[in-house]
Amino acid sequence: MVPIVWTGLGLLIVPLLMGAGLVGAVVLESLVGPIGTTVGLLISAVLLVVVGRTVNRDGHEHSLYGIPVQHWAWIQGLFVVLSVVFMLAA
C-alpha cells in the first residue's frame, strides 16, 4: 500500500488529472474522434497550471509528493506527447 502525501490542496491533482482525461476519453472522443483523449489530457494540463499558480501564490505550498500543483502539468504534458506518438504510430 502506497501512502498519499500532500500538502494544502495538493490532493486536487488527482481529480484534475483523472477527471479531464476521463472527460476527454468519453465525451470529446465521441465528438472529435480519437484525438479527444489527447485534447482532454491537454485541457487537464492547462487546468493544473491555472489552479496551481492560483493556489500557490503568496508563498503558500500545495503539493502532491513534494511536487507543486502547477509542476504536475509537465508530467501531464508528457502523457499528451505520448498520446500523440501512440496515435501516430497506430
Task: Give the tens place of pLDDT for each residue, 2-49.
Answer: 898 999 999 988 888 788 777 777 888 788 888 888 888 888 899 899
Structural domain tally of the chain?
1
Inside any domain, residue 81: yes
| Angstrom distance (rounded) from CA 10 to CA 72 | 10
| Angstrom distance (rounded) from CA 21 to CA 34 | 13
pLDDT category at 62 given cuts 50, 70, 90 is: very high
Inside any domain, residue 40: yes
pLDDT category at 71 given cuts 50, 70, 90 is: very high
List, in sequence order, every residue forming a beta bridge with 64; answer none if it has no partner. Answer: 6, 67
Inside any domain, residue 1: no
Range of the domain at 42: 6-89
